Amino acid sequence: MSEQTRFLLNESDLPKFWYNVMADSPVAPTPVLRPDTLEPVTPDFLSVLFPMELILQEVSTERHIEIPEEVREIYKLYRPTPLIRARRLEKALGTPAHIYYKNEGVSPAGSHKPNTAIPQAFYNKIAGTKALTTETGAGQWGSALAMACQMFDLDLEVYMVKVSYQQKPYRRIFMQTFGAQVFASPTDRTNYGRALLQQDPDNPGSLGIAISEAVEAAATSGGVKKYSLGSVLNHVLMHQSVIGEEALKQMDLADEYPDVVIGCVGGGSNFAGIAYPFLRENLKNGQRARLLAVEPTATPSLTRGVYTFDYGDTAKMAPVVKMHTLGHDFVPPSIHAGGLRYHGMAPSLSAFVDAGLIDAISVPQKSTFEAAVQFARAEGIVPAPESSHAIRAAIDEALDAKAKDEKRVILFNLSGHGNFDMAAYDSYLDGNLEDHEYPAEAIKAAMENLPQVNMPA
Ligand SMILES: *Cc1c(COP(=O)(O)O)cnc(C)c1O
């Protein structure tokens, strides 16, 4: 028993409810604003983009929302996911710390993203939606949604950031295998894309631009197509709560409780997935786990951005929310953790960081690959470059515990595997990787175009 490595749940332990942190949040929710008027959105504005059930979840303050049986059935293809004690990594580090990781890389698409792709496709299907539109950067979100749309017989249009489309053909082919249509963004399919291409036919694209195109494609479809987002929104974060709910039970099986819970952050969904159930335990049940969000130094929205209202996309078509932002015009350096290259952050996570309930740090790219390779060589899993940010922080915690000669229980979320990211590992192994500090002047410049919102803070 003392050498147990995998802590597994049965199919019958699969959560029946998602956990909605807004029910227990000590900070009031901030309003979501229309991008054109900067007035609070109404359901009819959002219903152009989302089915009503997801809009209701977005604004819900119910603590628990039942997971539909149709969704649980598909979750069972890969959930509950394993919790692993990283015994071999502990040994390699010579640390007295106990390191656990929740492996979301076992999902069919290779990351946590199907946890929300599946319910989003389901709620669209029962609302009569014919097709979804979405953006993808590195391709992980597009892969997850392509699989989910196929399972519910929905068409899917993916606007894939052009540089990724060119550099990551395997993710594109993965999506096409599930029947998705994939376009290199900017495209000539939208007004916004055409305008950008006219200025610069070689525009490499960005996540903000791809979001604008996917939103425009849905908004101008006369109700046939809806839009789907893979992170940031409340309902997306809530769908990910299955990660933390399972992890709580699995830590119980291991007869331990984490001192620190770690996740990487792009828009905040996998971190919220593992951390919010532990935040509930902190707020309601007297636990004191430290919750630590880890971002790249190249896109430091939580650690160096401003907590204010900003647009969710570059063309100012998506709603305006209060979040830690680097400015909607921010074009991040091209780092290999493509899933973390977003200018903003989930509003709830931003509010919790602002309130001191959650800590945030940033780590440079090369050190994340060092950690990734160390982890791979000990545990046998090549992690996604995004997840490697969490691994870096977990290893640093374990080394700190070693220096202080104290036992510490560390839990991190392995948000995905890196089997499609060999080009990134190739650059690292060849010594061609660079670190990026985002210059202070650039942050200041990007803040000049923020929306002028007159809202009580
Ligand atoms: C998309 C992605 C992320 C970042 O998105 P979050 O919403 O912050 O979780 C992290 N890890 C992996 C493997 C991803 O695919």
Nearest alpha carbon, ligand 1 atom 14: 339
Long-range contacts of 39-47 (CB under 8 A, 24+ apart): 41/319, 46/319
| Torsion sign, CA atoms 22, 25, 28, 29 | negative
Q: Please count the CA atoms within 13 angstroms of the CA of 57 that sit on its side-chain side.
A: 24
* CB-based contact 137:210 (threshold 8 Å): yes
Asked whether the bond before 80 is cis by omega within 30 degrees of 0, the reply is yes
Q: Is the pLDDT of residue 156 over 60?
A: yes
Q: How confident is the model at residue 444 (pLDDT cuts 50, 70, 90)?
A: confident
Q: Is the pLDDT of residue 116 over 70?
A: yes
Distance of CA 99 to the CA centre of its chain: 22
Contacts of 198 (CB under 8 A, 6+ apart): none
Nearest atom, ligand 1, residue 111 CA: 13
Asked whether the bond before 319 is cis by omega within 30 degrees of 0, the reply is no
Which amino acids bring their CB within 6 angstroms of ligand 1? 111, 113, 140-141, 231, 264-271, 339-340, 384, 386-387, 415-416
Paired with 322 in beta bridges are 309
- Terminal C-alpha separation, the chain: 52
**Separation between Cα atoms, residue 166 and residue 348, nearest integer Å:** 34
Q: Is the pTM of this model over 0.95?
A: yes
Domains of the chain, CATH where assigned: 6-14+78-110+240-449 (3.40.50.1100), 17-67+112-234 (3.40.50.1100)
Give the pLDDT of residue 284. 97
Q: How confident is the model at residue 333 (pLDDT cuts 50, 70, 90)?
A: confident
Q: Is the pLDDT of residue 55 over 80?
A: yes
DSSP 262-302: EEE-SSSHHHHHHHHHHHHHHHHS----EEEEEEETTS-HH
Average pLDDT over residues 235-263: 98
Average pLDDT in the chain: 95
Q: How confident is the model at residue 434 (pLDDT cuts 50, 70, 90)?
A: confident
Q: Please count the CA atoms within 13 angstroms of the CA of 384 that sit on its side-chain side.
A: 29
**Separation between Cα atoms, residue 239 and residue 120, nearest integer Å:** 9
Nearest atom, ligand 1, residue 271 CA: 9
Residue 51 tokens read as 């089915």
Q: How confident is the model at residue 340 (pLDDT cuts 50, 70, 90)?
A: confident
Distance from residue 38's CA to the centre of ligand 1 (Å): 29
Could you read off the pLDDT of 254-284 as tens digits, one per residue? 999 999 999 999 999 999 999 999 999 999 9
Give the pLDDT of residue 456. 57
Q: Is the pLDDT of residue 455 over 70?
A: no
Give the pLDDT of residue 2. 63
* CB-based contact 110:419 (threshold 8 Å): yes
Distance from residue 2's CA to the centre of ligand 1 (Å): 33
Q: Is the pLDDT of residue 441 over 90?
A: no
Could you read off the pLDDT of 179-230 as tens digits, one per residue? 999 999 999 999 999 999 999 999 988 888 999 999 999 999 999 999 999 9
Give the pLDDT of residue 337. 83
Give the pLDDT of residue 56. 96
Distance from residue 405's CA to the centre of ligand 1 (Å): 33
The 3-class SS string of 221-250 reads CCCCEEECCCCCCHHHHHHCHHHHHHHHHH
| Owner of token pair 């709580």 | 248
Nearest atom, ligand 1, residue 266 CA: 8
* CB-based contact 147:178 (threshold 8 Å): yes
Q: Is the pLDDT of residue 411 over 90?
A: yes
Nearest alpha carbon, ligand 1 atom 4: 266
Residue type, 67: I
Q: Is the pLDDT of residue 457 over 60?
A: no
* CB-based contact 241:83 (threshold 8 Å): no
Nearest atom, ligand 1, residue 416 CA: 13
Average pLDDT over residues 298-302: 94
Q: Percent of the chain scored above 90 by pLDDT? A: 85
Residue type, 4: Q
Nearest alpha carbon, ligand 1 atom 3: 339
Could you tell me which residue, 426 or 452, shows the higher pLDDT? 426
Q: Percent of the chain scored above 70 by pLDDT? A: 99
